Amino acid sequence: MNWLFEMLSYSFMQRALIAGILISICAALTGVSLVLRKNSMIGDGLSHTAFGAFAIATVLNFTPIWFAIPVVIIASFFVLKLSGNKKINGDAAIALLSASSLAIGTMAISLTKGVNIDLNSYLFGSVLSIGWSDVWLSLGLTAVVVLLYVFAHNRIFAITFDEDFAKAIGIKTNVYDVIFAIICSLVVVIGMRLLGALLISSLIIFPTLIAMQFSKSFGRVVMYAVLISVANFALGLAVSYLITSPTGATVVIVNLIVLITTYTIRKILSS
Amino acid sequence: MTSTQPAPTPQPIVPPLITAKNLSLSYGQSKVIDSADFTINEQDFVCVVGANGSGKSTLIKAILGLLKPRTGKISFGNNIKRNSIGFLPQDTKVDSNFPATVFEIVLSGTLGHLGIKAFYRKKDKAKAEEALKNLNISKLKNTSFSNLSGGQKQKVLLARALAATSKILILDEPSNNLDYKSRQEFYKALKNLNQSGLTIIMITHDLDAEDLIGNKIISIKESKVACETTTEYLRRYK
């Protein structure tokens, strides 16, 4: 167990662990609604947008996170608007946004000379990039998301299960859509520094899919998704330290192994 | 000795539950409903019929307040508020593998009465229990929605609508995807609810006489709306 104490003795690992756990909580809570409403790819589209925004901000010498947050929030509204447009499918809108943002980001970096940008850390994340400001930002976001879930979980359930019915009984579904779009954007932008643009959406999707193997109750799926998300992140971070592998990829692989295992066990038990 | 007959007590005039006056509905430039006038009274069982795309669901959306009329208005009597109308959307819009228990779903029907409160009250839970009991599905309370048959799922969604209302129930093609037996059972449950005082408005795609179980028909053809008794309607079309 010495390696564990050694790992936790590094301040960058402490920051990564705290920020990662907080982002995992937010991603799991947001993910339940996104996955069950079949909007899982929104996280993916927004993370690519965040990559483009980070690249442009770095080239223009802006603070990346403060530039990326409004850009990604605007992009999330754009996706929401297009999702409601019958002429363009929501998934086509997300694919459009992903490819365009990735292309703009890559082009901005490649055309700029004299700026040293580590493309890999944007795409795949880096534990070294997490500062205390990210930890405080994650803490604030987690507080907001947890309070939202505590006080509006019944309405979130109604909207997630059947939006038409929720509208009919007077729930302002468009207000919740906007809140979710903002939260999802913040989760992606803050989490992207840790897990990378290509992997952050896994933190949104995997916990819900795993939790659904255990329970058929919405309340329990939410609770299990949070616990699974936190446990898998902590395990992934520890394994990545132990075998010196990339953190983002390790967290995703841990989630994948847990999903395959739980799915197999459920299939065996149900047959 | 002469006895004088007491003067008959005048019956109070009961205003219609729903009144549509000069109602026109449209999506953008395309007019769906044109200058419709109709009334729905307490304890009516109204079937809304018309071809695909004729505007049946649009009319329901307007009654539910989800679509603003282009002209005219829909007004409610008997202190009805829009968020206290029970609504059963088309079953195709609900994910049949959604992870939720029957009680979680039925209880969500009471959300319209919660106002700004965050948590369900005892009376909301009692209302949900009562809705389950009315449809004889109390034993399914803790069952997962994904484990139910098509007919049971429809009854659960009907129970959710009942938890939302004690006055008006609106159903959008509820018998779609139900086999003959489940459909008959479902209609029987609706008739019982209607007899117990509930006003029901049901869109039905099927024009078989056995599906026109209400006392009144609202038919929509080429943007025009006609409202008549089921007997009159059947005489004209069958």
User: A159 with B123: CB under 8 angstroms?
Assistant: no
Interchain contact A218–B (C-beta under 8 A): yes
Give A11's pLDDT tier (boundaries 50, 70, 90).
Answer: very high
Name the residue in chain B with its Cα closest to that of A214: B99
CA of A32 to nearest chain B CA: how many angstroms apart?
10
At residue B128, the pLDDT reads: 95
CA distances (Å), B89 to each of A30, A208, B60, in order?
Answer: 25, 26, 10
Interchain contact A162–B (C-beta under 8 A): yes
Residue of B82, B111, B147 lying closest to A158 (CB–CB): B111
Mean pLDDT of A62-66: 86
Give A88's pLDDT tier (boundaries 50, 70, 90).
Answer: low
Which residues of A fall within a CB distance of 8 Å from B82?
170
CB contact under 8 A, B82 and A36: no
CB contact under 8 A, B111 and A212: no
Distance CA B87, CA B7 (A): 43
Distance CA B163, CA B127 (A): 6
Domain ranges of chain A: 2-270
User: B238 with B209: CB under 8 angstroms?
Assistant: yes
Distance CA A145, CA A75 (A): 20
Which residues of B fall within a CB distance of 8 Å from A167?
64, 66
Domain ranges of chain B: 46-65+82-237
In order, the DSSP letters of B154-208 are HHHHHHHHHHH-SSEEEEESTTTT--HHHHHHHHHHHHHHHHTT-EEEEE-S---
Matching CATH number, A2-270, of 1.10.357.10, 3.40.50.720, 3.10.350.10, 1.10.3470.10: 1.10.3470.10
ipTM of the complex: 0.85
Mean pLDDT of B176-195: 85
DSSP code at position A117: -
Mutate to test the interface with B, among A151, A165, A218 (most CBs of B within 10 A): A165
Please report which residue ranges of chain B form alpha helices under DSSP H. 56-64, 102-107, 122-134, 150-164, 180-195, 230-237
Distance CA A121, CA A196 (A): 7
CB contact under 8 A, A36 and B108: no
CA distances (Å), B126 to each of A190, B123, B138, B203, B219, in order?
Answer: 43, 5, 12, 29, 37
Instruction: Determine the CATH number of domain B46-65+82-237.
Output: 3.40.50.300
Name the residue in chain A with its Cα closest to that of B84: A169
Cβ neighbourhood burial of B47 (10 Å; 0-12, 13-18, 19+):
buried
Give the count of beta carbons closer than 10 Å to the beta carbon of residue B185.
18
CB contact under 8 A, B89 and A164: yes
**Percent of residues, chain B, with pLDDT higher than 90:** 36
